[in-house]
């Protein structure tokens, strides 16, 4: 499935149905009178966040969404049918943004099942029966119903993850997420192997958290260099960032400053998020060189440096321990050895 995190769509709610002009014509009824019913209400445009979606690719092929119009009012005081709402299903983490300035957030869907009515359907028009008064016994006026509302909006997906990976291209981010999670990101010995964000679920010491890997940043990404900073929006919601630095690179301290500068230039409070600096590929260097680079990174602003090897797994448990410190407390606790939760677990089931 192709990944798409931005899409422009057209939405229109349903107009209200017109009221009816009708008069009773029944045998044995001496005096008839108006009996035109009201029109039905038009359908709303509703957005709903649903599980199981992690891309907006469907909106590349379907870009126009129009709710149904309310039914016409009819004689015998019959009200027109109200149109059902048109529910547009989007991934969790989707923002709905105004097309006018592409900055104003109209809605932010961050929970499964969250719904928002963006456009309301028009009210149905009044039928002539509702205009009847003691002095106006045979009204012929009616209302046509409220018109539909229409709007162009942008959908922008920001993946929901607990931790995010940042770093220069070829720093080993894809290898790292493959090592610690169930993700299967492409790994290559060239820059920008990762072209779209990846998500993986990490299980460590009885805890689970979601890890996001985004394409590498280079100097000038805020101005559009390389892939640019477009995908930084996917780590805006992360609780902690893991900054991977390649020990085999030209200058690890300079590499850290480049990425930190791009995070500051992007804004959105990314610069204020907790940062864990990991010196990757330590299996390619001796202990003395690793210690020297770690000290340089601390002098450059890193609070703590974790020497790791994403390829071999060295040092990764300590880094994951540090990530857990920034996550909410676990809600489930491990049961003592030998303790069972209920009687069904006490003995294995057998058909005999």
Most confident of 47-56, 145-154, 212-221, 253-262: 145-154
Q: What is the pTM of this model?
A: 0.75
Q: How confident is the model at residue 215 (pLDDT cuts 50, 70, 90)?
A: confident
Q: What average pLDDT does this structure show over 228-241?
A: 79
- Report how far residue 214's alpha carbon sits from residue 217's, in angstroms, rounded to the nearest whole number: 9
User: Does residue 285 or residue 187 have the better pLDDT?
Assistant: 285
Q: Is the pLDDT of residue 154 over 70?
A: yes
- The rounded distance, in Å, linking the Cα atoms of 34 and 139 is 7
Alpha helices in the chain (DSSP H): 58-61, 173-180, 252-266, 287-299, 316-324
Mean pLDDT of 127-147: 92
Residue-range domain boundaries for the chain: 1-157, 163-324
More confident residue, 303 or 72: 72
Residue 344 has pLDDT above 70, yes or no: no
Q: Which CATH class is domain 1-157?
A: mainly beta
- C-alpha 186/C-alpha 164 separation (Å) is 17
List all residues 6 or more positions away from 246 whose beta carbon is below 8 Å from its beta carbon. Answer: 167, 168, 170, 171, 172, 252, 255, 280, 281
Residue 69 · residue 36 · CB < 8 Å: no
The mean pLDDT value for 145-163 works out to: 91
**Is the pLDDT at 144 greater than 90, yes or no?**
yes
CATH number of 163-324: 3.40.50.300
Q: State which of 116-125, 264-273, 276-285 shows the largest mean pLDDT.
A: 116-125
Amino acid 286: pLDDT: 84
Q: What pLDDT sits at residue 229?
A: 65
Q: What is the mean pLDDT of residues 285-298?
A: 86
Q: Give the per-residue pLDDT at 102.
A: 85
CA distance 141 to 229: 59
Q: How confident is the model at residue 197 (pLDDT cuts 50, 70, 90)?
A: confident
Contact partners, residue 275, CB within 8 Å, separation at least 6: 240, 241, 243, 302, 303
The three-class DSSP label of residue 259 is helix
Phi/psi of residue 294, nearest 5 degrees: -60, -40
Q: What is the largest CA-CA distance in the chain?
A: 108
- Whether 350 has a pLDDT exceeding 60, the answer reads no
Residue 160: the pLDDT is: 80
Contacts of 344 (CB under 8 A, 6+ apart): none
Predicted local distance difference test score (pLDDT) of residue 336? 41
């Amino acid at each position: 499935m192709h990944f798409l995190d931005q899409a422009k769509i057209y939405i229109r709610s349903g107009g209200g149905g017109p009221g009816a002009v009708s008069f009773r014509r029944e045998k044995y009824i001496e005096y008839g009178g108006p009996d035109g019913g009201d029109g039905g209400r038009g359908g709303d445009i509703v957005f709903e966040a649903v599980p199981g979606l992690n891309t907006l690719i469907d909106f590349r092929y379907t870009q126009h969404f129009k709710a149904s119009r309310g039914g016409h009012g009819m004689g015998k005081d019959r009200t027109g049918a109200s149109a059902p709402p048109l529910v547009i299903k989007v991934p969790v983490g989707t923002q709905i943004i105004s097309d006018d300035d592409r900055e104003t957030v109209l809605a932010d869907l961050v929970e499964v099942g969250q719904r928002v009515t963006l456009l309301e359907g028009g009210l149905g028009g009044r039928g002539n029966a509702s205009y009847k008064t003691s002095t106006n016994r045979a009204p012929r006026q009616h209302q046509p119903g409220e018109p539909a509302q229409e709007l162009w909006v942008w959908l922008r997906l920001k993946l929901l993850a607990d931790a995010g990976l940042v770093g220069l291209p070829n720093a080993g981010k894809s290898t790292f997420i493959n090592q610690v999670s169930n993700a299967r990101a492409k790994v290559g010995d060239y820059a920008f192997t990762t072209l779209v964000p990846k998500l993986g679920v990490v299980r460590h010491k009885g805890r689970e958290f979601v890890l996001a890997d985004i394409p590498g940043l280079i100097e000038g990404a805020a101005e559009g260099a390389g892939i640019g900073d477009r995908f930084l929006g996917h780590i805006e919601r992360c609780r902690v960032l893991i900054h991977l630095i390649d020990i085999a690179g030209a200058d690890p301290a300079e590499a850290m400053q480049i990425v930190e500068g791009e995070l500051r230039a992007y804004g959105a409070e990314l610069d204020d998020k907790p940062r864990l600096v990991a010196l990757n590929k330590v299996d390619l260097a001796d202990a003395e060189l690793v210690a020297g680079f770690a000290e340089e990174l601390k002098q450059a602003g890193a609070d703590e440096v974790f020497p790791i090897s994403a390829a071999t797994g060295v040092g990764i448990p300590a880094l994951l321990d540090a990530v857990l410190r920034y996550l909410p407390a676990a809600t489930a606790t491990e049961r003592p050895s030998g303790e069972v939760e209920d009687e069904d677990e006490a003995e294995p089931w057998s058909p005999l």
